[in-house]
Amino acid sequence: MAKVCKGASFGVDTPRPKVETKHPIGKLVRNSFVHSSRNLRTGQLRSKSFTAIQLRIALVAAMSFLLVIPRLTAREKNKGEYGAGLIVNVPFPEKEVIQVVEEVAQNGIVRGTKEYNKDQYITGAESVPSTHVFPEWKEGGKVFYKVRFKAIDPRNFKDGGDVGTLAVRYIVQPQGDTHSVLRINAVYVEDFRRISHPSDGSVEGAEYKDIHDRLDRVELMKAEAEEAAKTNAAVRAQATSSQAPAVAGQQVAPEPTPVTPVADQTESAPPATGSEIPETVEQQVRDLRRQVERTVKAPGAPLKSAPFHTATNLQVMPTGSEVLIVISTPYWVGVETHDGQHGWMLRDDLEQIP
């Protein structure tokens, strides 16, 4: 008798049941294989992405480095320029340079720097005989100092800040009879920390330009004054030569003239006498004097060494003193006194000779 299997059916195809591995080791092996495959694919993607990011970072870093190198080089170069100061050979004699530098040291202005953006320069500076900001100068020459106390973070000084003392030093040294050496240094020292900040050269350059412009103006005015003096001398010589024949004609007796009929005398005009010529020449001299001679108004006025209010006084001209104008400008006139001294006076301090 044939055996019949339990659960079997004849003539019907039943699906084969799915066989699963129920052993724990088999599950572990299969899961490990699946996770390994997934991690491998993910790792490859992450590796490619990480490599791209690294490449971009390296490229940006290289470009940044190339851009920063010139700036660092320029910055190092600028560092070397701080505190160098200015030394220049000036084609003017020492006396003239000292006179102009003294005027600049007393003008109360420090050029080439400012406290606020709206300013052009720093005002309120003082001329002092010495300052602790600079060490004592022992190499000869004439030294001037201009100091601005309580300056607030002046521009163009290395790492400047806070409130402190701004000082400019001028040194004039002779170099032969016609040249001079001019040294200019500027420094800023904080009041609280006592830290010294050297200038980048802007103050020295601006102060020298002011000095150079003043020297050029003085030289131009001197040349014009010499030319005017020559012109006045020529006019005086011409006036003197015009008077000489007239005076000589008055001293010599007139020659006898032939007798003419009365009718002829009445018809002809009377001959010109020599007395009319001196009167004309004297009038010309008076006109010239009114043009070039002036008297000092009360209560007197100073005779300046240059056409600036800060220029030194050569002397004080008393009221009524007469001076000769050798050069004229809108506000100042170059004059010569009776004793031959030349100088400058304000036009408003003089009046015409009555």
Catalogue the E-assigned strands of 119-235.
122-123, 126-128, 142-152, 163-175, 179-190, 196-198
Neighbouring residues of 116: CB distance < 8 A, sequence distance ≥ 6: none
Supply the pLDDT for residue 259.
47
Supply the pLDDT for residue 39.
52
Retrieve residue 276's tokens.
């009319």
Q: Is 239 helix (H, G, I), strand (E, B) or coil?
A: helix
CA 277 – CA 57 distance, rounded (Å): 103
Query: Is residue 311 scored above 50 in pLDDT?
Result: yes
Amino acid of residue 201: G
Tell which residue, 315, 314, 312, 309, has the closest CA to residue 348: 309
Q: Highest mean pLDDT: which of 55-64, 121-130, 307-316?
A: 121-130
Can you spell out the DSSP letters for 31-43? HHHHHHHHHHHHH
- Where are the domains positioned within the chain? 27-81, 86-218, 277-352
Lowest mean pLDDT across 7-16, 123-132, 184-193: 7-16
CA 56 – CA 112 distance, rounded (Å): 46
Written out in words, the top-level CATH class of the domain with range 86-218 is alpha beta
Query: Is residue 9 scored above 50 in pLDDT?
Result: no
Rounded percentage of the chain residues whose pLDDT exceeds 90: 32
Lowest mean pLDDT across 56-65, 100-109, 279-288: 279-288
Supply the pLDDT for residue 148.
95
pLDDT one-digit tens code per residue, 220-264: 877 777 777 777 777 777 777 766 554 444 554 455 545 444 444
pLDDT one-digit tens code per residue, 170-180: 999 999 889 99
Dihedral sign (CA 249, 250, 256, 260) = positive
Question: Residues 133-152: what's their mean pLDDT?
Answer: 94
SS3 sequence of 266-314: HHCCCCCCCCHHHHHHHHHHHHHHHHHEEEECCCCEEEECCCCCCCCEE
CA 5 – CA 255 distance, rounded (Å): 191
Q: Is 228 helix (H, G, I), strand (E, B) or coil?
A: helix
Beta bridge mates, 147? 126, 167
Q: What radius of gyration, in Å, describes the C-alpha atoms of the chain?
A: 49
64 band by pLDDT with thresholds 50, 70 and 90? low
**The domain 277-352 is classified under which CATH number: 3.40.50.10300, 2.40.30.10, 2.30.30.40, 3.20.20.100?**
2.30.30.40
Cα 179 to Cα 133, 185, 204, 210, 216: the distances in Å are 29, 20, 20, 18, 14
Neighbouring residues of 170: CB distance < 8 A, sequence distance ≥ 6: 101, 104, 105, 143, 144, 145, 146, 182, 183, 184, 207
Tokens 């007239």 correspond to what residue? 246
Q: Is 332 helix (H, G, I), strand (E, B) or coil?
A: strand
Query: Is residue 121 scored above 50 in pLDDT?
Result: yes
Tell which residue, 247, 249, 326, 342, has the closest CA to residue 293: 326
Query: Is residue 281 scored above 70 in pLDDT?
Result: no
Supply the pLDDT for residue 247.
47
Mean per-residue pLDDT of the chain: 76
Supply the pLDDT for residue 187.
95
Lowest mean pLDDT across 9-23, 92-106, 319-333, 335-349: 9-23
Question: Residues 269-287: what's their mean pLDDT?
Answer: 57
Amino acid of residue 77: K
CA 101 – CA 171 distance, rounded (Å): 9
197 band by pLDDT with thresholds 50, 70 and 90? very high
